[in-house]
Every structure is written in structure tokens, then in C-alpha cells.
Amino acid sequence: MTAHVVLRNVTKRFGSVVAVDNLNLKIARGECLSLLGPSGCGKTTTLRMLAGFEDLDEGEILVGDRVISSSYKNYYLPPEKRDFGMVFQAFAVWPHLSVFDNVAFPLQIRGLRRSEIQDKTTKALTYTGLLDVRDSYPNELSGGQKQRIALARSISFNPTVMLLDEPLSNLDPKMREVMRFEIKELQKRFNFTIVYVTHDQAEAMALSDRIVVMDFGALIQQDDRPVNVYLRPANKFVFGFIGLSNFLAVEVVDGQIYLQGAREAGPVTSVVPRHAPGKPPTLACRPSEIQMVPTGGVHGTVTRRVLLGDIIDYRVQVGPTEVRVQRNVRKPVFNEGDQCGLAFSALHWYDESGARVQA
Amino acid sequence: MADVRLENLAAVFGTHRVFEGFTLTIRDGECFTLLGPSGCGKTVVMRMIAGFEHPSAGEVFIGDQLVSSAAKKVHVPTESRNIGVVFQDYAVWPHKTVFENVVYPLQIQKVPAAEAKARTLEAIAQVHLGSLEDRYPSQLSGGQQQRVALARALVSRPKIMLLDEPLTNLDANLREEMRFEIKDLQRRTGVTILYVTHDQEVALAISDRIGIMGKDGCLRQVGDPHEIYTNPDDGYVFNFLGVANFIPVERRNGAVQIQGSYLPLQVEIPSAARDRIARGEVVAACRPFEIDLVRDGGATRGLVRRRVFLGPTVTYFITVGQIEIRAQQEAEEAFRDGRALEEGEACGLTFQALRWYDKASVGEEARP
Amino acid sequence: MTGTDRKFGIAEILLLFSVLVLVIVVAVPILLILWNAFVVDGGLNIAGAVKVLSQPDVFQAVVNSLVIAGAVTVVSTILGVFFAWLVSRTDLPFKETMKLLFLVPFMLPSFIGAIAWKMLLSPRAGLVNKWFMDLFGLEQPLFNIYSLWGIIAVESMYLFPFVFIQVSGALERMDPTLEESARISGAGLFQITRKITLPLMLPSIAAGALLVALYSLAHFGVPAVLGTEAGIFNIPTLIYQKIYASGGRFEAIRAGTILSSILVVSAALILYSQNLILKAGRFQVIAGKSVRPILLKLRGLKYPLLVLSLLYIAVTVVLPTVTIFLVALLRTYGLSFSLENMTLHNITYILFTMKLTKDAIWNSFYLSLAAALVTMLVGTLISYVIVKMRVRGKFFLEFLGLLPFSVPGTVIALGVILMWSGKFGVNLYNTAWIIFVAYIARYMAFALKSTSAALEQVSDSLEEAARACGATHWQAMKDVVLPLIKPGMVAAFFLIFLPALRELTTSVLLYGPTTRTIGVAIYALNEDGETVYAAALSAVALIIIIVGHWVIKRITGTTKLGGAS
């Protein structure tokens, strides 16, 4: 892939804490890449280094073929010269300027002619649906509109790279859905590269071409398309971070896998993953990927049933283990105390270090 | 334990009419949720039961006792109603320790010190805060403070408990845990609970019965969660409880079709609905998961405009005629079985079930 | 909001009581002033008022007031913004120390500073002038402090912290992403400052500047010490002169009330403009999370600017304070500062022997204590009615409560004289009571602000929770509300006690032979030429104030008290 943005051996320390540990990343032109991870994992620090607000302790960052940050040469292109668009979590829209002046600001700073400024600003406002409020002030507008101002302001000068730092966290759920789509549309239209930072996995999955799941130190756990990250998580951390999960201890008897301490319940599967003797891997499966059948399967008793809307959430006790299962509401309902059988349709295996084990 | 009877309750403040003619009975020992959007008046109802507000009309009974009546000029003050209240912001007193917070109601009632201490420690243990009784609220997390509020509300063995959106300020994981604890507590103590919220997920999860309030303060439907969810009375309730598709239909050439499309709807249409369709009074409704998607064939044809992958499910926004319909597939089905549809692809939709609702009952925001 | 099931009438009674208190203490004195100024023999007499205003000395005093206030505001704003920017936005070393040092003028009474500057820069005897003239063999002094510019300079030194506090606070709390987004949009540091930071700071700058203008207009001490000698009067000092020179003649009182009306109107205008600016809600720039503002690297300028700041503090804070202490230790004024000329006698004399000063110290202490206590208690009650009770007409209470903010000490003193000098059957003139009443009027607004802020922090649900636990309204107040507002009440107490202890403006118009306050005593000693004793009492006062602030800091953890004298 012809990389557009490259991070090479990037390291950043704050005191004794290594916030970003030897990060290597390549982003293609026009790609929407999400940095996804828990709070404090280093994703925002990475974004700020890309923007030029932080220096690097080690490594370099390139855009195209141009080095914009380098610890070796002690060279850092200042943020105002990087020509990136950036959208912040708290919008960072200037309250003393009208919507129009907010969006026109980068163009005015660049010293364009008035007619050009007028032209480009109007275009940006049109694409973000803000044309009729161009003369209003930010405090008169809603959160979603403020975020659109921030977007319009960043695209008005046609950047090649857009940096978004948790831009939707301060919006209500309905608005978040709307804005996700609008960001995607803008990207299709302008074809800029997006680096998107978030801790919300649903958001990352809905928006990105590629997700980079990070743990503390910005250590990459998985770097892949959303579908693959969800259906084939590389390790236990990723599995647990994305979506709901069951982590079940198992025992192997006569070539069959049983849930630990529940041999009488019946086997889970006879496909046994490779493992060291006496140390079977952990079984991971999603509540939505377990079927409840009236006969057969692994026997258990329903201990809890909670209606969540279009999903019913069950807890099923199998011996000493509690398994969480989610079923669509239109499927037959089980009551608390009912017996049922569990059929596992998708099994994932992780060893004690959290690494994926092939079945 | 007691039941609560609200008869023809009205809340009219000057020219601002919140609700009128509100009648409801909360049964002894049940967990009842009043569910409605912000501003519908549900909190006012709760505050009238608590005694923080005077009803402009109507009467409130707790058990057999008339506690509020505008006409009869009766108003039993809050402190004499023997209730427990849990507030949205917890209202845990920052200058008292956990123990001092929870023992307060017993001190007011002049319960002997030894008994008060025993009951307080028991209540604290019941909410799983044992060993924290000497901490101050500022040293506790949001979830722990909420539990202190719960213990304090329960310690005096009240007849009824009123909870006002107690979980809104907690993060998602904690919310799930706490609603289970509340339900558990209720089962163990048998206290009657009125829970007030705008979050339908919580309501469906913990209630024995739900009452849905409209923005106008009207009680739209009362019933048990499963019943209300699977058989909503009107379009408003249907839309409130989950993602809804509202599909305008018309009669053309003797058949019923989706407005703007050319294929007849291949669904069983109850005869009562047929005339109303002809008169343009009703709209069809269904949930995204009540639609089957295929590439070829299908009862109706449409075009996939957008596809959003959400994890366990994949959502499709499909254009059919002039309207957009939301449908979904399980992720397994979509990717493992290869049945995922691409954006821009034509597809077929088959409706498993359709409901028919008055157009008028569907709110402005939901109308297609 | 609770209270709908109160015992019938209690809320109304409390409201009535509160209104009564505020009317008697605050409203009536002000109304009397306006009445006295514009109503003669039962009829509105504007022409007469204008005639008085056109008398040359009166007119000149008004002009002087405006000129001084204007110049002081400009100078303070420049100083305040510059130092705030230096401390909050650059990599100046020792920032925390610098911040504290810049706030010191806030704590010290400016008229004591004026006395110190008099000792340094009076044209003949001023120490700096003498040294300068001796050094260069000149006849002309370096600077004559008895001048308009002298007054302006000294006032600015003591008032600029108003602007400094507002602006540095706002700079530090400002959301850094507002500037970062400007940066990523292509703007360099100077462009950001010009187009983003400064416009967003405007409300804070304006708020500070208006406060400076308000105080300067109403200020007695500095113009009294430095201006009277040269015949330069502002409104408060002219009022004082007329009333004392005339011994209470009608025309003098009338001139006083007319001048006061001007003060009231200007003060009201200033507060109104400030309200307008603060209400311009566009400028919501405070960030919620912890912030990291971008710091400008001063590089080569770092140490020169540090030296400049230290020099400024040395000249404006250290120099006058040290002078006061040194003069206080001199046997006789005029002697050189050598060890054999130093003695502690002055200090012990004023503390233990001299009746004037002993009485003054005692008076100030018990008057301030009493006023602070009463004002705090009454203020708490009134705040409770305003914030927590659901009764009609409480907006009127709010209005009355905030009124004194806009009424300068001189005006309150005059109003109190008019009201309590026998008009309504009660004559408190020349007693301690009249000062006591004036203090309550003057500081009520402070108590209201502090206690209502504390009450607003106590959310209604905390009281309601107590009610739900079985507590009656009164039990809930006692067990929940009172403990939680105690810090606010304590803060209110100190917010009144320390300023009252050291003030001059109000008591100078109200004191009698036995009711001098510390401020009045210092002023009187200075007027009578007893310079060393004036210095000694000033030194003692400064020590009391500093100790007082330290004690308060230990108790409440804040240091932002001061400025009102």
C-alpha cells in the first residue's frame, strides 16, 4: 500500500510512564483508521503527536514523503504549518465569532482573496448543512450543530489528513448516529485520510475502514477491518474489549471439551484446540452466538431473564459456571427455572497469555 | 407494605398544564415503572406521592390513608408518610459518614440506639457496602453512593419506595449491575416500588408492570413489560420502546402497497385494517428484526442505501419507493453465511409481521 | 424547591422581616440622600442641585474623580493584563511566588501606602526626593507626590490586582483546545493571541476594569492623604471637607448629598455595564477537565522580564512597606535611618499608652467583630429566603440586597447620618452604633453573596431526602442545611471582619471623639503631623492584617479577601 501517513518507532514518555511505546503504523490515502482503546492507553497522545502538539521522545512521523516530526533531527513542523484538519471532543468552536467567521478562519489566516474565502466557506457550510445558520453564533446552536461547525472549519481548506479526537462523545446517542454518517459522507466526497480516536467500540466499528485496537502504551493488539476484529479477535484483550463476551473455563476428557465441573451437562464440542497437557485454553464466545435449544446441547438451568427490548438477556447456570446468552425477542422465550440446552456456534480459544489458539 | 392509588390527579401550575385526570393503582409489592420522555410529568407524579408537591386536583392514597386531596384540603406532610425516596443525584449527605446517613431515619423515629445500630448495619450489608460504614461520600464512587441512598431509603422499612431516575448518572456497566440489585432488593423485602425513568431499557428489565406516559402527560398504556413490548397499543408506545419502522401504505389496483413502490404487500391484512387503509387513517409498523432480507425475490424490492456494522448485528437502511426502512441481520448470518448485502445492492424484503396504527398516534418525529 | 407544606405564614414572616431589615438598613439611607439632594421644602428642586454642582470646587471635584478613576482604570488594566499574561501564559520562572506577590497589594490598605509614598516622595522632605536632589545637586524634586499623577500612581498600584485576578484566572481556566484549534487552522502564536485569546478575555478584563473604576470613584484614603495638601479633591474627600469644615450646616450636607447622588448614579451605571458584559453568554470558555494552556517560550526575554517583575514588586510593595516599618522605629521623624535612631518606643506607646490609638484599636476590633457576626447571621437568613423559599416578591429582596454593592462607603455614611441623627427619633450620631449600622449596610451585600452561593450548592434534594427520612422542615434545616453552609458563613464572616477592621472611608465621616477606628486614627495622626506614630500604628495594622489573612487561610483555605477599604 502506498502509505500516506507513516509513524515509525514512535515513543513518548511522561516522566516514568511510557505513554506510547515504539508505535509503528502505516495509513493509506483516503483510509479511515480508528485508534480504539481504553482511557489512558495512549491513543490521544498519538493523535497529538501527529498534530504537532507534542514532541517525540523517539521516532519519526511522515506524511507523503515529508518528515513532519523527527526526534533524531530534533525537527518538528509546527501545528500551524501541517495543513491538517482537526476536530476536538469539546468542539472548540470560538464563541465570539459567527458560524461563518469560524469556518472562514483558516482561509483568512492563509491570506486568500476575499472572493475565494467566500466561495470555499460557503461550500464547506453547504456540505455540513449549516448554510442557513451562517450568521448565527455558536451559543445559539445545539451540540450537533457545533460539531458540524468544527467539521466545516476543518474541511474548508481541503486538508489531506483529518484528525478526530473523540468528536462524538459529547453528543446524545441519536445525534451520534447522525454525525457518524455525516463524517463518513464527507470522507467519501473529499477523500481525505482520517485518523479517529475513540474508546467507543461501536463507533469505531461503524465508521472505520480499519481499526487499530490498543492497550496501554499504545501497544497494538489488532489491526484489521472491523468485521475481522469482531469475528476473529486476535487475543483475549480484543475479544473482551469489542462487544459482550463469555470467558469460560473448560476441561478436556476423552477428547471432548466440557465446561469445567459440568461434565454431566454434556460436551461443548469434540474439536479440541492444541494445548499443553493439563492447561486447556479459555473458551470465549459471544452471548449472541449461543443458541438455546429445548433438547440436546449442553444442559443448563435458566437463572435469570431480562427483557432488554429487542433482545432477551439470559443467565444460564451450567454446573458452577454462569453463561450469558442473548436472543432476539421473537424467538421462543425461556422462563427462570427452565431447563435448556446450549449450542455454541462460534468458539474462540485463548491461552493463558491471552493469545489466540487455533482450534 | 402498601398499594398506591392515584385518582384523577392533576398538575396545573398557572397556565402550565402538566397533566390532568391521571388515574393509576400501583399494587402492593410490585415494581412499577412510570416511563416517559423528559418533561412529561412523571417526576411530578412521583413528587406528589412523596408529598413534595400538592396536586391541583385529585387524591393520593397510600394504603388506606388519604394523604393528599386538594378538594378536601388534606395534605399529610412528607415526613409522616413513611416512604423511602432515592433521588437522581443520590442526595447523600456529604458531611455525614455512610453509617450516619443510613441511621438518620431511625434517629428521627427515636428508635433505641442498639436496635438502630443493628438495623443500620444490616441495611448496609444488604447493599453490599459492609466495612465502608465509616467512609464519607466523597470517598465513594457514584455506584457506592447510590447504594448508600438505597440503604437509607430501606432502613426504616417504608411502605413504599420512590426512585427518580437513580441510575442515569452511572456508566453503562454499573447501570446494569445496579438495576439487578434494585430488583433483587425488592424481591427480598417485598416493598412496593415506583420507578420513574425515560430509559426504556431499564423499565423493561426490572418492572413487574410499566406505565407509559406521553409528552402530554397522558397515561398511554399500562401492562407487563413483555406484553407492552410485543403488543403496544399505539404508534407512540411502539416508537418509544425501540427502533420502529413506520410504513405508509395505500390501496392501489385493489391491493395494498407501500407508498411509492409497485409491488403489493404480501402480508395478511386484518379486515378491520383494510377499510382504514382505504381511508388513509393507518400506517404499518414493524421492528427492524421483523424483516427478512434476501438478494433475489422477496415480497417487496428495495435498494440498500447504507450498511452499518454494529457488532452482533448489521443494520441496513433500505430505500423502498419513497421511504427508508431499517432492517437488520445477525452478524453471524451476514458474514459467516455470506448473506451480507452491499451498499447499492438491490434486495428483497419480506415482512414477518406488521402492525397497524393510527397515523395520529405516531408522533411528529417518528413520522416517515 | 421545598416549602409548600410549611406552617402557614412562617415563610411570609421571614420574608417580611428580611425586607424590613434591608429597607431600614440599606434602602432608606440611600433614599434619604436622594431626597435631600433633590427635594427642597417638599418640592423637586433640580435647578438648585445643578447650581450646587456648578460651584467651582464642586465641579472640579467631580472632574477630578472622573479623571482619576479613568486614568487609574487604564493604568491598572495595562498592568493587570500584562502581569496576568506574564504569569499565566509564559514560561516565567517562579510563577506561583510571583502570583502571590502580585496579590499582596490587595491585602494592604491603600491609604497606608499613600502615607508611605508621602514619606518617600513629598517634594521637600520625601526621602527619595531628598536623596535625588542631594545626589545631583538639584532644586527640583524627582517627583511631587502631592499631585493628580501621584494619586493615580498610588491608586493603580493597589487596585491593579482586581484586573490581574480576573484575567489570570480566566487565562488559566480557558479551554486550551480553543487555542489549539486555531493553531491547527494555521494561526501562529501572535495571531492566536490577537484573534482568539484577547477577544475571549475581554469580559474578564472588562469586569476587572469596571471594579477598579468603581473603587477609585468611591475612594477616600489616597486622595485624602495626597490630594488635600495640594487642593486636589475628589468627591469623597470634598464631601468630608465640607461636612467637617461646616460642622453640619445644611448647605454642606446638601452639597454632600448631591455629590453622593452622582457617585450612586455612576456606580449603578458601572455595575449595570458589568452585568451586561457578564450576561453576554457567548463567552463560555471555561474548560471542565484539567487544562494545559500553551506557554509562550520567552527565551532571551525570560530573565529581563523576571527582573522587571521583581523590580515592580520591590518598588510598589516592598519599598513602601519597609518605609513604614522603618519610620515606625524612628525616635523622631527626619532623623536618618541608623541603629541609634531606632526604638521600639513608638510601638509600645501607641499600643499601651496613647489613649487615641488604644481606643481606636479596641473600637475597630469590637465594631468589626460585631458587624461581621450580625451581618453574617442576618445575611444567612435573608439568603435562605431568597434561594430556598417559594414566596412571592423575593426578587425585591434580591434587588435590595445587591444595592449596597453600588453604594460607596461615603454615601452610606452620609445616608446613615441623615437617617440616624434624630430624624426618626433615634440619634446615634457620634456613638459607636452609627458606625455599626453603617458597617452592616456596607457589607450586607458581601454576606448575601457568600451565603447565597453556599446555599445554592446545597441542592434541594438534600433537604427533601431528609424530609423523606421523617425529618420536619426545621430538623432538615438543622441537620442538613446548616452544617453544609457553615463554611460559607465562616467565609462571609471573614469577608467582612478584615475589611471592616482596616477601613477608613466610612468611619471617617462618622467618628466621634471616642469612636475612632484604626483607619481614622492613622489618618488623624498623619494629619496632625505625628508621622512616627502614624507609621507605628500603620505598622501594627499591617501586622494584624497579615496575621489575620494567615489565620483565615488556615481556617478556610482561601486568600481572596481584600480590596474594600
Question: Tens of pLDDT along C370-416?
Answer: 999 999 998 898 888 888 877 666 777 777 777 766 678 888 888 88
- The grid coordinates listed for B13 are 401550575
Has residue C564 got a pLDDT over 50? no
> Whose CA is closest to B55, among B40, B69, B65, B35?
B69
Give residues 231 to 250 of A whose Cβ lies within 8 Å of B.
Answer: 231, 242-244
Q: How confident is the model at residue C562 (pLDDT cuts 50, 70, 90)?
A: very low
pLDDT at res. C3? 37
Mean pLDDT of C323-346: 83
**Cα(B156)–Cα(C181) distance, integer angstroms:** 55
Q: Nearest 5°: CA angle at B359, between B358 and B362? A: 100
pLDDT at res. C284? 55
pLDDT at res. A1? 57
Hey, are the CB atoms on A94 and C196 less than 8 Å from each other? Answer: yes
Q: Nearest 5°: CA angle at C411, between C407 and C412? A: 80
| Residues of chain A positioned with their CB less than 8 A from the CB of B212 | none
Q: How confident is the model at residue B213 (pLDDT cuts 50, 70, 90)?
A: very high
Among candidates B89, B93, B156 on the partner chain, residue whose Cβ is nearest the Cβ of C480: B93
Task: Lay out the sheet containing A3-14: strands in order across.
Answer: A17-28, A3-14, A58-63, A66-70, A75-76
pLDDT at res. C277? 75
Per DSSP, C144 falls in state -
Lowest mean pLDDT among A96-100, A319-323, C512-516: C512-516
| Cβ–Cβ under 8 Å, residues B31 and B186 | yes
Length, in residues, of chain A = 359
Q: Nearest 5°: CA angle at C367, between C366 and C370? A: 80
Residues 6+ apart with CB under 8 A from C154: C110, C113, C114, C117, C145, C222, C226
**Higher pLDDT among residues B146 and C406, named by residue:** B146
| Residues of chain A positioned with their CB less than 8 A from the CB of B330 | 288
pLDDT at res. B232? 92
Residues 6+ apart with CB under 8 A from C491: C450, C454, C556, C558
Residue corresponding to grid cell 508621602: C118
Has residue B173 got a pLDDT over 80? no
Q: What is the DSSP string of B205-238?
A: HH-SEEEEE-TTS-EEEEE-HHHHHHS-SSHHHH
Task: Judge residue C9's burial from the number of C-beta atoms within 10 Å of its C-beta, 0-12 exposed, 13-18 middle, 19 or more buried.
Answer: exposed
| Residues of chain C positioned with their CB less than 8 A from the CB of A153 | 181, 185
Locate the chain B residue with the closest alpha carbon to A328: B289
Determine the 3-state secondary structure of B74 from DSSP. Answer: strand
pLDDT at res. B368? 52
A135 touches chain C (CB under 8 A): no
- The grid coordinates listed for C294 are 500553551
Phi, psi of C421 (to 5 degrees): -105, 40
Q: What's the half-sphere exposure (Cβ side, CA atoms, 13 Å) at A112?
A: 17
Neighbours of chain C (3+ CB pairs under 8 A): A, B
Hey, are the CB atoms on C469 and B50 less than 8 Å from each other? Answer: no
pLDDT in tens, B73-126: 899 999 999 999 999 888 999 999 999 999 999 999 999 999 999 999 999 998
Mean pLDDT of C61-87: 93
Hey, are the CB atoms on C464 and B153 less than 8 Å from each other? Answer: no
Phi, psi of A249 (to 5 degrees): -80, 140
Hey, are the CB atoms on C466 and B104 less than 8 Å from each other? Answer: yes
Hey, are the CB atoms on A243 and B312 less than 8 Å from each other? Answer: yes
State the smallest CA–CA distance between residue C2 and chain B in angstroms.
Answer: 7
Has residue A322 got a pLDDT over 90? yes
Residue corresponding to grid cell 445558520: A133
Alpha carbon distances (Å) from C122 to C86, C228, C319, C337: 33, 13, 15, 18
Q: How confident is the model at residue C6 (pLDDT cuts 50, 70, 90)?
A: very low
Hey, are the CB atoms on C484 and B95 less than 8 Å from each other? Answer: yes
Measured from the Cβ of residue C459, the count of other Cβ atoms closer than 10 Å reads: 13
pLDDT at res. A42? 92
User: At residue B39, what is the residue type?
Assistant: G
Task: Judge residue A170's burial from the number of C-beta atoms within 10 Å of its C-beta, 0-12 exposed, 13-18 middle, 19 or more buried.
Answer: middle
Interface with C, mutate which of A88, A91, A157 (most C CBs under 10 A):
A88
Interface with C, mutate which of B78, B80, B160 (most C CBs under 10 A):
B78
B85 touches chain C (CB under 8 A): yes
pLDDT at res. C559? 40
| Cβ–Cβ under 8 Å, residues B281 and B320 | no
Task: Judge residue A2's burial from the number of C-beta atoms within 10 Å of its C-beta, 0-12 exposed, 13-18 middle, 19 or more buried.
Answer: exposed
SS3 content of chain C, % helix, strand, coil (to 5): 75, 0, 20
Has residue C40 got a pLDDT over 70? yes
Alpha carbon distances (Å) from C143 to C13, C73, C124, C319, C323: 61, 22, 10, 16, 17
Lowest mean pLDDT among C352-366, C397-411, C487-501, C537-551: C397-411
pLDDT at res. B367? 59
pLDDT in tens, C420-436: 877 777 777 778 888 99
Beta bridge partners of A312: A307, A327
**Higher pLDDT among residues C300 and B43, named by residue:** B43
B324 touches chain A (CB under 8 A): no
> Whose CA is closest to C431, among C362, C371, C363?
C363
- The grid coordinates listed for C111 are 491609604
pLDDT at res. B364? 62
> Whose CA is closest to C537, among C75, C215, C112?
C112
Phi, psi of B87 (to 5 degrees): -95, 165
pLDDT at res. B296? 86
**Higher pLDDT among residues B200 and C275, named by residue:** B200
Residues 6+ apart with CB under 8 A from A47: A35, A163, A165, A195, A197
pLDDT in tens, A117-136: 999 999 999 999 999 999 99
Interface with A, mutate which of B175, B184, B204 (most A CBs under 10 A):
B204
For CA atoms B348, B349, B350, B356, the dihedral sign is negative
pLDDT at res. C292? 62
pLDDT in tens, A58-80: 999 999 889 999 999 999 999 99
Per DSSP, A261 falls in state T
Q: How confident is the model at residue B255 (pLDDT cuts 50, 70, 90)?
A: confident
Locate the chain A residue with the closest alpha carbon to C282: A95
pLDDT at res. C560? 43
**Higher pLDDT among residues B351 and B365, named by residue:** B351
pLDDT at res. B120? 95
Element of type H or E holding B251: strand B249-252
pLDDT at res. A67? 95
| Residues of chain C positioned with their CB less than 8 A from the CB of B119 | none
Hey, are the CB atoms on A310 and B242 less than 8 Å from each other? Answer: yes
pTM of the entire predicted model: 0.81
Among candidates A84, A96, A137 on the partner chain, residue whose Cβ is nearest the Cβ of C199: A96
pLDDT in tens, C232-254: 999 999 988 888 777 666 777 88
Strands B209-213 and B31-35 turn out to be: parallel
pLDDT in tens, A89-122: 888 999 999 999 999 999 999 999 999 999 999 9
pLDDT at res. C479? 94
Locate the chain A residue with the closest alpha carbon to C188: A80
pLDDT in tens, C46-69: 787 888 888 888 899 999 999 999
The rounded percent of chain A whose pLDDT value lies above 90 is 66
> Whose CA is closest to C458, among C483, C490, C492, C491?
C483
Has residue C217 got a pLDDT over 70? yes
Measured from the Cβ of residue C335, the count of other Cβ atoms closer than 10 Å reads: 13
**Cα(C214)–Cα(C373) distance, integer angstroms:** 26
Interface with A, mutate which of B243, B308, B336 (most A CBs under 10 A):
B308
Has residue C296 got a pLDDT over 90? no
A169 touches chain B (CB under 8 A): no
Determine the 3-state secondary structure of C5 from DSSP. Answer: coil
**Cα(C17)–Cα(C516) distance, integer angstroms:** 32
Lowest mean pLDDT among A48-57, C78-87, C148-157, C330-339: C330-339
Task: Judge residue B93's burial from the number of C-beta atoms within 10 Å of its C-beta, 0-12 exposed, 13-18 middle, 19 or more buried.
Answer: buried
- Kindly report the average pLDDT of chain C as a whole number: 84
| Residues of chain B positioned with their CB less than 8 A from the CB of A34 | none
